[in-house]
Amino acid sequence: MRAIIQRSKQATVTIEGEVKASIPLGLVVLLGVEHEDTQEDADWLASKIVQMRIFGDAEGKMNLSVKDVGGEVLVVSQFTLHASTKKGNRPSFIRAARPEGAIPLYEYFKSALAKEVPVQCGVFGADMQVALINDGPVTIWIDSKAKE
């Protein structure tokens, strides 16, 4: 699983002109599921995200997690995180999981996060408009296979 995590002061997902999800302070997580991913990947990634200390403490140092600051998480599916740009100019998405495999892991990941923090989400496979105020900006890429 791959995730792009963005620290946000506010974020929304709009679908067909209607706001589907909205969070105040928290994290926007763009999530890509690969065909080889498992629930173990989802558990590791959810735990890492909830515990990641990327919010400022009283001294302005990144010492607090989303849970520590009472934040929420907005999860948006994004198969394009598994794009391969090695050949040509048109990305290949062959490594991204097909919906029948990706949807159950996406749902599992959201439920793992929801055990720790409030979670909102987009709609898997929908054409979404994601708006956020990226705080910092702080943007972090995580891959469960690399464990970094």
In tens digits, what is the pLDDT along the chain, a chain of 148 residues?
A: 999 999 999 999 999 999 999 999 999 999 999 999 999 999 999 999 999 999 999 999 999 999 999 999 999 999 989 888 888 899 989 888 999 999 999 999 999 999 999 999 999 989 999 999 999 999 999 999 888 6
Judge if pTM exceeds 0.95: no
Residues in Cβ contact with 49 at an 8 Å cutoff, skipping those fewer than 6 apart = 3, 5, 27, 29, 66, 73, 113, 142
Residue 8's pLDDT is 98
pLDDT (0 to 100) of residue 95: 87
Tell me what pLDDT residue 119 has.
98
For domain 2-143, which CATH number applies: 2.60.15.10, 3.50.80.10, 3.30.420.130, 3.40.630.30?
Answer: 3.50.80.10
Cβ atoms 42, 113 nearer than 8 A: no
Q: Which residues are catalytic?
A: 80
- Cα 74–Cα 55–Cα 124 angle in degrees, nearest 5: 15
Q: What is the pLDDT of residue 82?
A: 86
**What is the pLDDT, as a whole number, of residue 87?**
87
